[in-house]
A and B are shown apart, each in its own frame.
Chain A
Amino acid sequence: MIDVLAATRTELTKILTLPSAWIVTGIILALHGLIQLQASGLFSEAVAEITPDGVIEVFIGQPRAATDEILGLLVSSSLQAGLFLPMLAAVIAGQEFRWKQLGPTLLAVPRRGLMTAAKLLATALYVLALAIVVSAISTGFMYLAVRDWNPGLLVSAEAFAGHARFLAFAVLSSLTGLAITLIARSTLTGIMIAVGLVAITMTQLLAASAPDVDALLPFSAARNLLLDPGINNLTAGPGHGLLVLTGWAIATATAAGIVLSRRDAR
């Protein structure tokens, strides 16, 4: 147990002293802030025009119950920033190979299973912290929009449940990104696979023709887990989404553990 803690601390130090991890973190937070900033005006206007019976029209022609809509937007606004987290994980994982660090790392932590577990744990902790900041930013901007209407909504159990689903997605998808990069031994491949998977989901290439296949993709699973089925075309329920994300994380992490323990330390 102490071994795992020590190895995880080492891996966390590596992440925290890596300039590219900080740069990518900064870019993610800056983009998230910018996107929230331009959306908050739209939300404020819509909230100001909520009807007495609690109907809001954020997107023209789509009137919805205000509490559902605000809670849905709170989570979906975090999702956009969350799509970048697997790429951050790829940058974190790739540095071992880019700077030929893996040899010295294994000299310090010769048990490869332990090393892989420490990597997964450290990245999960870092991404979890970042995802909490992302959720906090979403909540802050949403507070500006709803403060005159119902600010208590943002600290309701439903809001926290939404954040919890986002945090689960953030950690599981990042572990998948990390594991794919460890298998590929290349940051670039890790990033490209992540962007490719995002692109397939975002363009809805498979959603119409093969919804069952689409539901098995990690970012489609994220949509199924996080988005409101009332206004989005989803391919499965939230439970299915969580299961698929967990499956990707376990499968890729296991594969990464196996190849790291079998391969030459390069």
Chain B
Amino acid sequence: MTCAPGSPATRRADDAGFRDALAAELTKVRTLPATWIALLIALAAKLALGIIAATHAIRIASADGAIPVTQMGTLMLSPVYAFIAIAVFAGGSEYGGGQLRVTLAAVPDRTVLFTAKLAATAAVSLLATVLAVLPGYLIQHISALVDGEVSLGAASADFAALVAVYLLLSLIGLGFAVVARSVITPLAVLFIAPVLVSPAFQNTIPDIVKLLPHEAALSLLGTPATPDTELTPSAALSALACWAAAGLFLAWNALSHRDAR
């Protein structure tokens, strides 16, 4: 039977193509050891920080005296940099051993492949975020919730912001990994920038530094790196969403137009 493009039969075949590609991408993410290692490290780190924050067992000495760890925004956010390895490996691990050519032989339509990869990574990251973050978050805030110091609504909004940060930083990592054709570059850059690069510039050009992913994430979580780099929650969310959208657009563009290596 032959069918004209766009006829119902072809469309059904295309739909099946996307479903198959999505299933394949989900299998890839699930069977990558890096996915599970990253999830376990993020879960353990978040849990440990939650216990430290809840018990006030450790205070960090600083120039302004001892401060609780909850005010150390970068430290509290640090598990995310293990977590985003899930998305970075989902996007970048195809390039090392020539896997991409095999993948493209199976799914030649690169837009379908990219959409499937994005959908699978986003779904896995969202599910994994809840798994990685919820236990630590509950331990940190359970007593405040039980005592009624924090309303359930406020806590939910707080938790949603945390999930948004984890998800959007993961998507930035996915886009970056596909563009860089590597897992090392995105993880190294995303991890090094907040620790080594932005502290050198946050006093002289805070208006640029506050728009960077890490600093925007800190603003969204209510612990800006410095008062000068604070953004309103909606502006911080927009900044992160713009980074993710730009990264994903560049990734789709690169995947559609580049040689299959």
Contacts and interface: CB of A to CB of B under 8 A. Distances in A.
Interface of A: 31, 34-35, 38, 80, 83-84, 87, 94, 98, 187-188, 191-192, 195, 198-199, 202-205, 207-209
Contacts of A205: 60
Nearest to B72: A203
A195 B197 contact: no
Given A38-B201, A188-B183, A203-B74, 5 more contacts: A31-B200, A191-B191, A195-B195, A204-B61, A205-B60
Contacts of A207: 61
29 contacts: A31-B200, A34-B201, A35-B201, A38-B201, A38-B204, A87-B192, A94-B184, A188-B184, A188-B187, A188-B188, A191-B188, A191-B191, A191-B192, A192-B188, A192-B191, A195-B191, A195-B192, A195-B196, A198-B195, A199-B195, A202-B195, A202-B196, A202-B199, A203-B72, A204-B60, A204-B62, A208-B60, A208-B61, A209-B61
A84 B61 contact: no
B200 A80 contact: yes
Secondary structure at the A interface, as helix, strand, loop or mixed, is: helix
Q: Closest 9 interchain pairs by CB?
A: A208-B61, A38-B204, A188-B184, A191-B188, A35-B200, A199-B195, A187-B184, A195-B191, A195-B192
Nearest to B88: A188
B51 to A, nearest CB: 16
A188 to B, nearest CB: 5
B3 interface: no
Contacts of B187: 188, 191-192
B96 interface: yes
Q: By CB atoms of chain A within 10 A, which of B60, B183, B196 has the most?
A: B196
Nearest to A94: B184
Secondary structure at the B interface, as helix, strand, loop or mixed, is: helix
Contacts of A80: 200
A120 to B, nearest CB: 22
Contacts of B60: 203-205, 208
B96 A98 contact: yes
Contacts, number: 52
Given A84-B196, A199-B195, A191 B75 contact: no
Interface of B: 60-62, 72, 74-75, 96, 183-184, 187-188, 191-192, 195-197, 199-201, 204-205
A208 B183 CA distance: 36
A87 B195 contact: no
Contacts of A191: 184, 187-188, 191-192
A203 B75 contact: yes
A241 B74 CA distance: 27
Q: By CB atoms of chain B within 10 A, which of A34, A83, A195 has the most?
A: A195
Nearest to B58: A209
A38 B202 CA distance: 11
A35 B200 CA distance: 7
A191 B75 CA distance: 18
A61 to B, nearest CB: 12
Contacts of B62: 204
B68 to A, nearest CB: 14
Q: By CB atoms of chain B within 10 A, which of A35, A94, A98, A199 has the most?
A: A199
Nearest to A100: B97
A192 B62 CA distance: 25
B75 to A, nearest CB: 7
A108 B120 CA distance: 44
B123 to A, nearest CB: 25
Q: By CB atoms of chain B within 10 A, which of A187, A192, A202 has the most?
A: A192
Contacts of A209: 61
Q: By CB atoms of chain A within 10 A, which of B72, B74, B191, B199 has the most?
A: B191
A83 B201 contact: no
B184 A31 contact: no
B209 to A, nearest CB: 12
Contacts of B200: 31, 35, 80
A125 to B, nearest CB: 24
A35 B187 CA distance: 23
B5 to A, nearest CB: 43
Contacts of A84: 192, 196
A35 B197 CA distance: 9
Given A38-B201, A188-B183, A204-B61, A198 B188 contact: no
A204 B201 CA distance: 19
